[in-house]
């Protein structure tokens, strides 16, 4: 009975992490795509310059592609801890440079959206992507190879 409850709990956790990854990933993809396709890197660069973002010529393409590619990586659950931290830092910088001075609410330019996105990305970086991810599939294969190698070494010893 305890094993079934633990399995059910683990399954619920994995489904929750999958939903969080997909929702956050879609939002990051949309924002990255908007920067690239709708505004253009030149437009984002000028916007960043006007907002006082340091090195806007480097920051604009880096952030646009980080959000686009990072969002895709979150959706599939690949390199989740690294991507989660990078997206968290992206949101922290956006909050500090642009949003905090406008208060909380997004309709007034506040930090609520970047705060939630950053917190979600950080939570995924800390918790990991769950079993329903490329990260898990890859680590599972690596672990199986390691166990096989250990067993083979143990048999010859």
Mean pLDDT per 10-residue interval, the chain, length 157 residues: 74 97 98 98 97 96 98 98 98 96 96 98 98 93 57 55
Q: What is the pTM of this model?
A: 0.86
Question: Residue 39 CB: number of other CB atoms within 10 A?
Answer: 15
Q: Say if CB 87 and CB 67 are below 8 A apart.
A: yes
Token digits of residue 83? 């991507």
The confidence score (pLDDT) of residue 9 equals 83
> Rounded to the nearest 5°, which phi and psi values hold at 21?
-60, -45
Q: What is the pLDDT of residue 141?
A: 66
Q: What is the pLDDT of residue 144?
A: 54
Q: Work out the angle at residue 11's Cα, subtended by the Cα atoms of residues 10 and 12, and round it to the nearest 5 degrees.
A: 90
pLDDT at 151: 57
8-state DSSP, 136 = H
Decide if 95 contacts 87 (C-beta within 8 A).
no
Residue for token pair 């599972």: 140
Contacts 24+ apart (CB under 8 A), 14-20: 14/130, 14/131, 14/132, 15/130, 15/132, 16/130, 17/124, 17/127, 17/128, 17/129, 17/130, 17/132, 17/133, 18/77, 18/130, 18/132, 18/133, 20/120, 20/123, 20/124
Residues in the chain: 157
């Amino acid at each position: 009975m305890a094993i079934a409850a633990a399995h059910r709990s683990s399954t619920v956790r994995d489904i929750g992490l999958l939903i969080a990854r997909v929702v956050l990933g879609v939002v990051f993809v949309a924002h990255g795509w908007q920067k690239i396709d709708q505004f253009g890197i030149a437009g984002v660069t000028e916007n960043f310059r006007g907002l006082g973002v340091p090195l806007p010529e480097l920051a604009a393409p880096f952030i646009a592609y980080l959000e686009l590619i990072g969002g895709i990586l979150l959706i599939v659950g690949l390199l989740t801890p690294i991507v989660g931290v990078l997206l968290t830092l992206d949101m922290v910088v956006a909050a500090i440079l642009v949003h905090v001075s406008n208060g909380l609410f997004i309709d007034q330019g506040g930090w609520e959206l970047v705060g939630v996105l950053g917190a979600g990305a950080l939570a995924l970086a800390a918790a990991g992507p769950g079993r329903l991810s490329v990260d898990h599939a890859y680590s599972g294969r690596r672990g199986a190879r390691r166990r096989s190698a250990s067993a083979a070494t143990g048999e010859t010893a």
